[in-house]
Structure 1
Amino acid sequence: PTGSVAVEKPTPYTFDLGNLLANDANPLPPKPDEPALQAAARDAAQALVNQLLTTCPATATASGNVVLALPDAATPLPREKPAPAAKEPTAWERFAARKGIRAKRRDERGKLVYDEEKGEWVPRWGYKGKNKEAEQQWLVEVDAKREREKGEALDPRKESREARKERVKRNERKMRANERRSKKGVA
């Protein structure tokens, strides 16, 4: 069944073109039958199409299709899932809040530092990082006093590498303990 392109209602529709939504405030009959519901749905769809064609700017694409630019949505839609629950702060976060410590912004302490010897920017940490500079020196000064105390030859490169690996392991242990502590507080 075809109907008129013009839709007349006692109370006009309200539209949210960003969500392709037409709100019909007109009441339905007390016991609507299927044809009455279909007619109301057809009228609402026709009114929405009319509103889109009269208010939204239309442009033609290279393939010959017509595209309408929709305005921003006015009706906020609910999330699909509920908002996530707030996480329990870690021990460090509680300490930082108590002491007023804030995280440095990315540009305050960046990932790169300038290496004057090479004349270029290098990573602060990680592969070819500035933190491994002592391990890659061609000449390393040996502490004679410590060598005498130990009674054996020391390898400073090996010591600094082992110290770095130990710091990484210690940091991972602390991180796991912190996660366990925060999970215990939530459960």
Structure 2
Amino acid sequence: MDMEIDESPAPKANLPAAITALESATSKPERPSIEISKPIPYTFDLGNLLCSDNNPLPPSPPESLIASTARDTAQALINQLLTTCPITSSPSTGVLMKLPPCTTSLPREKPLPAPKAETTWEKFAKKKGIKDKGKGEGGKMVYDEAKGDWVPKWGYKGRNKEGEGEWIVEVDEKAEKGLENGKEIRGEGRRARVEKVRRNERKQRANERRGRKGEGAVGG
């Protein structure tokens, strides 16, 4: 039985299509966009590096949705940092980004310290009704509203020296006229304080002299 053999050349493969298919199989997946848009805008606390997404999720979201949501939130935080926070660069410190103050109050890392046990004196004072005169009325400390802290009434950095360190002093015309030649209004507070101390010392010496005279009269 005679058989005919087709000796015609085989059809050539479509090389451009094969190359395109190979590139598609080996090419990297397309990267997601850095531009994030949500129906409900994000809220940020850049001081704590916090980005909150209030857009609702389905009751049982798939892992892919959770991953994409987390990725979008992180991208939105990075975008906000790069567009709102100042960035500086120097050879000594490198690149630095200055974050704004925190707006979210975070809980303490550790529990509150336990109250200290009362000392023997504190127990005695509480029993006898003795009040601490360290601060407040009658005490050595007074609250300075300008500084927001307790300061001594007198002595080093005392309240009685208030205004002596100012580089601008308000001049009272009447007080200025009453000063002697060569004196300045800036040092008037210190001069008045020194004079008060000297006056108290003179009174104390006078009282001591009167006391000695009284003792002598009684003894005679």
- Calculate the TM-score normalised by the size of structure 1: 0.51
Whether the aligned pair in 2 keeps the contact of 1:19 and 1:75 (CA below 8 Å) is yes
**Which of residues 133, 137, 155 is equivalent to 1:102?**
133
**Which of residues 69, 78, 82 is equivalent to 2:111?**
82
- The match for 1:7 is 36
Shift in CA distance, 65/28, structure 1 to aligned 2, threshold 3 Å: farther
RMSD: 2.6
- The match for 2:75 is 46
Whether the aligned pair in 2 keeps the contact of 1:7 and 1:43 (CA below 8 Å) is yes
Q: CA deviation at 1:30?
A: 2.3
Distance 1:6 1:86 in 2: 52
User: Which of 1 and 2 has higher RCO (CA within 8 Å, sep 6+)?
Assistant: 1
The within-5 A match list for 1:158-173 is none
Distance 2:90 2:107 in 1: 33
Structure 1: any 5+ residue segments left out of the alignment? Answer: 111-187
Whether the aligned pair in 2 keeps the contact of 1:96 and 1:102 (CA below 8 Å) is no
Shift in CA distance, 102/94, structure 1 to aligned 2, threshold 3 Å: farther
SS in 2 for 1:59: strand
Q: CA deviation at 1:109?
A: 8.8
Shift in CA distance, 63/33, structure 1 to aligned 2, threshold 3 Å: farther
- The match for 2:15 is none
Shift in CA distance, 4/63, structure 1 to aligned 2, threshold 3 Å: farther
SS in 2 for 1:101: coil
Q: CA deviation at 1:91?
A: 2.5
Distance 1:29 1:20 in 2: 26
The reply on whether 1:21 has 2:63 as its aligned counterpart is: no
Distance 2:132 2:99 in 1: 45
Distance 2:86 2:75 in 1: 18
SS in 2 for 1:67: strand
Range 18-27 or range 97-106, more displaced: 97-106
Q: CA deviation at 1:84?
A: 1.5
- The match for 2:97 is 68
Whether the aligned pair in 2 keeps the contact of 1:5 and 1:46 (CA below 8 Å) is yes
Kindly name which structure, 1 or 2, has the bigger radius of gyration based on alpha carbons.
2
Q: CA deviation at 1:96?
A: 4.1
SS in 2 for 1:52: helix
Structure 2: any 5+ residue segments left out of the alignment? Answer: 1-28, 135-139, 142-150, 157-220
Shift in CA distance, 16/9, structure 1 to aligned 2, threshold 3 Å: same
